[in-house]
């Protein structure tokens, strides 16, 4: 979920949220200290029903599951969708385990890994219109993603390369994708090559059950019928969204997915962040995940965080997003062609200082390639210093590398705060090991495009990546498999192309379960260990920020999707 439109999303990650800084929030506390996940176990006395008011600061794209790609709309779709398999409304690692939802069990996967068969008992779930959810609901959903007339670019990026017949599908009336077949209550998905990430892909909104009558419309359907706890009753771009409780909602999968509120009204979609903070403080609004003033984060955490001075329940939450921020070290250029120099950079950068430059709560310093939400992260070992620098080690690696210092390295970064501040710290850090950093600032969109162009003269890219779906493939294979680096629009910003690494990544993607997690964890660890390729210097995990009014309770910070709207309630006496 933690991916959105390219520039919006990556600007947020890379800039550590430019807004975070604009507020001059470089407060002193550790940016990781604010944590605290709302847990499903602490449900306060509450009333059923009622309406809460939510505000967003402009990041809304589509309500149509085939098109939605922004974080805020995936948050909505998490609470309105029923999928074949899904996550439960629980926090932490347990919230990252995939369970059958509309399917009666996890799919039967053929021994060659090419056929996934789901059994979907009809009518277990119903859309708000009363229509039962059947295997056809998912067939239609996936075919909408693949239908050229729907132009679901994001969905087709994930699904088209692996589903059999997808590339031949023209979307004519009555036509079906040969690799998506329904017989009775069985839905069979046939692949052209094994893709163990398919399970994760099918837990995204692209696989949300849709009504059999849902039209193919490349502009997107504003109020699609929904079978989840809530449905989208109305959507007016730039104005409002209304979610209402699905009258036909039953927790048929036994997920214990609640739907306490009658209505969730997004009353403002163009909220100013300073004003949004004030409005939640005084109760005019009940919740916002983004219309919040970064300048206030330190104070808000102090007053309303896990041990807030204002007393009462926690209202302000800082939790890691499924994203990673890193320095891409361009292996195709002389400055970082030697892996020992790249290793040295990893020991020389001051991750807490860099995180602090991004503002309070923006980033949790880290040295891992995989965010904690991604399976495999637990298996990835910590190698580099997280809380400090190890200059001696860094200098020693530079000596071993045998390079002549000073080395000149060109750093590409964005021109919005806090990127320049962060670049200044990196420049200072690397000077200590004989690397003179020249900083070049660009608009974030321009930076992204330049770094993705082969031959662009940069040595370090201050980069970030938000998960498209919760699988290590979306990080490691997408960003580090160098076997097909395009001339433009590439994502392998370190331009690493190591046959052994490529083969390991390909192999890991054929595995499932623990073996898969271990394989990806091992790959990431190996990149960092002595002798490793070290194509990046990971520097942290960006955080999600959520703030609630005093009357909202029952929040569950879902392990994968963040705050689950359907879990919110109004506390008794509010």
Partner 1 sequence: MTRYVIRRLLWAVVLFLAVTLVTFVIFYLIPVDPARQAAGKAATPAQIQEVAHRLYLDRPIWQQYLHFLDELVHGNLGYSYANRQSVNETIKQAAPVTASLVIGAAILWLAMAVPIGVYSALRPRTKGDRAAMGFVLAGISVHPVWLGLVASYLLAFVPTQGSFLGIHFPSFTLFPIQGYCNLKGAAPGEPCGGPVQWAYHLVLPWFVLAIGYAAFYVRLVRSSTMEVLNEDYVRTARAKGVPASQVLRSHVLRNAMLPVVTAFGMDIALALAGAVLIEFVFGLPGLGYVAVHSLYQFDYPVTLGVVVFASIIVIVANLVVDLLYAWIDPRIRLS
Judged by the rule CB under 8 A, the positions of this chain that interact with partner 1 are: 3, 5-10, 53, 55, 58, 60-62, 67, 69, 151, 153-154, 156-158, 218-220, 233-234, 236-242, 265-272, 274-276, 278-279, 281-282, 284, 443, 445-446, 449-450, 465, 468, 474, 478, 486-489, 491
Q: Based on CB atoms, which residue is closest to partner 1, 421 or 468?
A: 468
DSSP percent split of the chain into helix, strand, coil, nearest 5? 30, 20, 50
Q: Which is nearer to partner 1, 103 or 292 (CB)?
A: 292
Q: Which is nearer to partner 1, 424 or 485 (CB)?
A: 485
121-127: long-range contacts (C-beta < 8 A, 24 or more apart)? Answer: 121/185, 122/185, 124/250, 124/252, 124/253, 125/82, 125/209, 125/227, 125/248, 125/250, 125/252, 126/227, 126/246, 126/248, 126/249, 126/250, 127/209, 127/211, 127/225, 127/226, 127/227, 127/231, 127/246, 127/248
533 backbone dihedrals φ, ψ, rounded to 5°: -75, -25
Nearer to partner 1 among residue 274 and residue 390 (C-beta): 274
At 526, is the secondary structure helix, strand, or coil? helix
Question: Using CA atoms, how far apart are residues 476 and 369, in angstroms rounded to an integer?
Answer: 8
- Rounded distance between C-alpha atoms, residue 34 and residue 43, angstroms: 21
- Lookup: tokens for 449: 């495009």
User: Taking the CB of residue 136, how many other CB atoms lie within 10 A of it?
Assistant: 19
Least CB distance from residue 417 to partner 1, whole Å? 15
DSSP strand E in 134-207: where? Answer: 180-183, 186-190
Distance in Å, CB of 166 to partner 1, minimum? 12
Residue for token digits 């730039």?
A: 238
Measured from the CB atom, the residue of 143 and 265 that comes closer to partner 1 is 265
- Min dist. Cβ of residue 500 to partner 1 (A): 23
Closer CB to partner 1, 275 or 427, in the complex: 275
Min dist. Cβ of residue 209 to partner 1 (A): 22
Q: How far is the CB of 482 from partner 1 (least distance, A)?
A: 14
381 CB neighbour count, 10 Å cutoff? 13
Q: Which residues contact 434 (CB under 8 A, 6 or more apart)?
A: 398, 405, 406, 407
CB of 238 to partner 1, least distance (A): 4
Considering the complex, state which of residue 60 and residue 227 has its C-beta at the smaller distance from partner 1: 60
For residue 205, give the 3-state DSSP assignment: helix
The number of beta carbons lying within 10 Å of the beta carbon of residue 531 is 9
Distance CA 420, CA 428 (A): 12
Q: How far is the CB of 301 from partner 1 (least distance, A)?
A: 20
Q: Taking the complex as a whole, how short is the minimal distance between the CB of residue 132 and partner 1, in angstroms?
A: 27
Chain-centroid distance, C-alpha 210: 23
Q: List the structure tokens of 493.
A: 């910003």
CB of 81 to partner 1, least distance (A): 19
Please identify, using beta-carbon distances, which residue of 219 and 431 lies nearer to partner 1: 219
DSSP state of 133: P
Q: How far is the CB of 571 from partner 1 (least distance, A)?
A: 20
* Cβ nearer to partner 1, comparing 10 with 417: 10
Other Cβ atoms within 10 Å of 310 Cβ, number: 14
Nearest CB to partner 1, comparing residues 95 and 371? 371
CB of 286 or CB of 350, closer to partner 1: 286
CB 365 within 8 A of CB 354: yes
Least Å distance between CB 390 and partner 1?
33
Please count the CA atoms within 13 angstroms of the CA of 246 that sit on its side-chain side. Answer: 30
- For residue 315, the minimal CB distance to partner 1 (Å) is 16
Smallest gap from Cβ 505 to partner 1, in A, equals 15
Distance CA 499, CA 489 (A): 21
In the complex with partner 1, which residue's Cβ is closer, 302 or 393?
Answer: 302
Nearer to partner 1, 32 or 267 (CB): 267
DSSP single-letter state for residue 549: -
Asked whether the beta carbons of 158 and 469 are under 8 A apart, the reply is: yes
User: Alpha helix locations (H) across 335-490?
Assistant: 339-348, 351-357, 391-401, 419-431, 444-451, 478-480
């Amino acid at each position: 979920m933690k991916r959105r439109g390219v520039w919006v999303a990556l600007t947020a990650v890379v800039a550590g949220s430019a807004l975070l800084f604009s507020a001059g929030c470089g407060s002193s506390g550790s940016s990781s200290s604010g944590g605290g996940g709302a847990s499903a176990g602490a449900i306060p006395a509450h009333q059923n029903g009622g309406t809460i008011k939510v505000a967003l600061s402009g990041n809304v794209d589509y309500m149509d599951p085939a098109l939605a790609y922004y974080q805020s709309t995936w948050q909505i779709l998490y609470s309105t969708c029923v999928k074949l398999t899904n996550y439960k409304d629980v926090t932490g690692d347990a919230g990252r385990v995939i369970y059958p939802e509309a399917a009666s069990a996890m799919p039967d996967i053929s021994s060659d890994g090419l056929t996934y068969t789901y059994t979907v008992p009809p009518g277990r779930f119903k859309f708000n219109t009363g229509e039962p959810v059947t295997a056809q609901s998912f067939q239609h959903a996936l075919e909408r993603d693949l239908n050229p007339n729907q132009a679901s670019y994001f969905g087709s990026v994930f699904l088209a390369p692996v589903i059999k017949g997808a590339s031949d599908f023209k979307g004519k009336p009555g036509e079906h994708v040969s690799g998506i077949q329904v017989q009775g209550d069985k839905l069979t998905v046939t692949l052209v090559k094994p893709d163990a990430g398919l399970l994760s892909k099918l837990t995204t909104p692209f696989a949300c059950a849709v009504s059999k009558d849902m039209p193919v419309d490349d502009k997107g359907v504003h109020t699609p019928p929904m079978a989840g706890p809530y449905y989208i009753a109305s959507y007016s771009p730039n104005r409002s969204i209304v979610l209402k409780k699905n009258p036909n909602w039953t927790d048929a999968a036994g997920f214990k997915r609640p739907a306490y509120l009658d209505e969730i009204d997004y009353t403002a979609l163009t909220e100013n962040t300073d004003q949004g903070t004030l409005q939640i403080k005084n109760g005019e609004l009940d919740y916002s995940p983004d219309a919040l003033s970064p300048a206030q984060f330190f104070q808000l955490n102090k007053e309303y965080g896990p041990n807030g001075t204002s007393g009462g329940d926690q209202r302000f939450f800082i939790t890691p997003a499924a994203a990673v921020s890193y320095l891409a070290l361009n292996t195709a250029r002389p400055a970082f062609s030697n892996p020992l120099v790249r290793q040295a950079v990893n020991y020389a950068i001051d991750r807490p200082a860099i995180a602090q430059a991004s503002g309070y709560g923006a980033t949790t310093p880290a040295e891992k390639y995989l965010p904690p939400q991604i399976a495999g992260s637990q298996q990835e070992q910590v190698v580099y210093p997280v809380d400090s620098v190890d200059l001696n080690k860094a200098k020693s690696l530079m000596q071993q590398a045998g390079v002549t210092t000073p080395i000149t390295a060109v750093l590409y970064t964005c021109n919005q705060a806090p990127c320049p501040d962060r670049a200044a710290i990196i420049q200072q850090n690397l000077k200590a090991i004989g690397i003179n950093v020249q900083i070049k600032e660009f608009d974030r969109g321009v930076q992204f495009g330049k770094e993705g162009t082969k031959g662009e003269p940069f040595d370090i890219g201050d980069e970030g990546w938000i998960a498209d779906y919760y699988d290590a493939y979306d990080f490691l294979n997408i960003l580090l498999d160098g076997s097909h680096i395009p001339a433009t629009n590439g994502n392998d910003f370190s331009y690493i192309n190591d046959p052994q690494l490529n083969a390991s990544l390909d192999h890991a993607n054929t595995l499932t379960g623990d073996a898969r997690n271990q394989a990806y964890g091992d790959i990431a660890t190996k990149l960092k260990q002595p002798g490793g390729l070290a194509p990046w210097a990971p520097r942290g995990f960006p955080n999600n920020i959520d703030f609630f009014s005093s009357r909202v309770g029952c929040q569950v910070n879902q392990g994968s999707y963040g705050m689950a709207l359907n879990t919110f309630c109004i506390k008794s006496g509010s």
